[in-house]
Amino acid sequence: MTGSAPAFPTRRTFVFVHGAWHGGWCYSRVRERLETQGHRAFTPTLTGLGDRSHLLESRPDLSTHIQDIVNLALWEDLHEIDLVAHSYGSWVASGALEIIHPRVRSVTFIDCHLPEDGQRLADFGRPEAAAALQEARRSGAAGRPAPSAAEFGVVAARDRRWVDSKTNPHPIGPSFEPIRLTGARDLVPIKNYVRAPSYRSDRFDRVREQLIADPDWNVRDVPGGHDVMIDEPDLITQLLLELTVRRTP
């Protein structure tokens, strides 16, 4: 018998980690597309954000957010996970992998810095962002206000209005907690990095250049702004399905 096998023959399990100021809502378009194709897609919201913004005053830290993702995997009994993290979500996903990496078959980082052991988010970012973060800490605020959707490079005007209506202050605690990593991220069988170069970031460009030279990583550039899952949901959906297929020698 001859004939080609389906491109994606099995049902996949995706877990998405959003970035700062956002919530699981930012992946809704990608989630819908994956579910329409028969896959499972979990889009949790980190403590203090989105539909969990009422918990901002509990002052969550990085460990809280890491536990949000770990608990999802444990309580939902998830295995063979395709983990996807955007922007700040790379810190959360990297920390979560220290615990759940045996359950993860692939990880895809989108437009982000990849933290190393002992680093703090507060030590990275643009000077104006660092100044705003320090001011929020001095004033005792639980969170720092969100930039506008235009600053994220969201392309369509109606999407900018939508994003601006959904973002809320990001807890400041995660920015000052050093991340603890032992190399679990490197143990994931399939590793991908996706860059949206129209969003200017020297840090993200340096990560891209570093990983291009690493044969263990797949690196792709995509159009759209920083919130590429909002700008290009069809492209991101298809790209995730392609990048998370195990390569054969």
Catalytic residues: 87
Q: What order do you get walking across the sheet with 217-221 strand by strand?
A: 40-42, 13-17, 81-86, 104-110, 190-195, 217-221
Distance CA 187, CA 222 (A): 26
Tell me the two tokens of residue 6. 């389906």
Distance CA 125, CA 226 (A): 14
User: Residue 25 carries which DSSP code?
Assistant: G
Cβ neighbours of residue 170 under 8 Å, at least 6 residues apart?
20, 21, 48, 49, 88, 143, 144, 146
Asked if 224 and 207 count as a contact pair (C-beta separation under 8 A), the reply is no
| Pairing state between β 13-17 and 81-86 | parallel
**Integer CA distances (angstroms), 205 to 29, 43, 119, 201, in order:** 26, 27, 19, 6
**Integer CA distances (angstroms), 209 to 188, 193, 221, in order:** 20, 11, 12
